Amino acid sequence: MGTPRVLPRLDADNRFFWTAGAEGQLRFLRCQDCATFIHPPRPVCRKCLSEKVAPEVVPGTGIVDTFTVNHQEWRPGLEVPYVIARVAIDGAPGVYLTTNIVGCPVDAVQIGDAVRVKFEQQGEVYLPLFEKIA
């Protein structure tokens, strides 16, 4: 999409996530004691309250849990339609990302589709978009 995007403000909590695409990787925080993945990133495990949490690389694939085709031009310059999807992240049980499915017609997306991350770089930030696995 050529649409302008609003970018996240990088801070100590989220920098590892939004910059991981520089190495072509998708990373999430994981508890080093009980192995639970934590997203959005927090300095503590929501399952066992351990403070030993660290980013780990996941395969970068996922499944479309649900989606919508947005047709509304919420602000000037927004190119519509586009697909917003909630992707269940492979290798990180219970973690979802809201993202865009790109590289296919908007009516080609279905629940259950296998997708792979495709980063879109905007300065320091690498946005994890997804495309269907052929």
Binding site for other proteins (CB under 8 A): 3, 5-9, 11, 14, 39-40, 65-72, 74-75, 78, 81-82, 84-86, 94-100, 110-111, 125, 127, 129
Amino acid letter, residue 114: A
**CB 74, min distance to other proteins, A:** 5
Closest contact distance (angstroms) between CB of 122 and other proteins is 8
* Number of residues that this document lists for the chain: 134
How do 96-102 and 125-132 pair as beta strands? parallel
**Pair 88, 62: CB distance under 8 Å:** yes
Smaller CB distance to other proteins: residue 4 or 24? 4
Half-sphere exposure of 59 (CA within 13 A, CB side): 12
Q: Closer to other proteins by CB, 74 or 134: give it.
A: 74
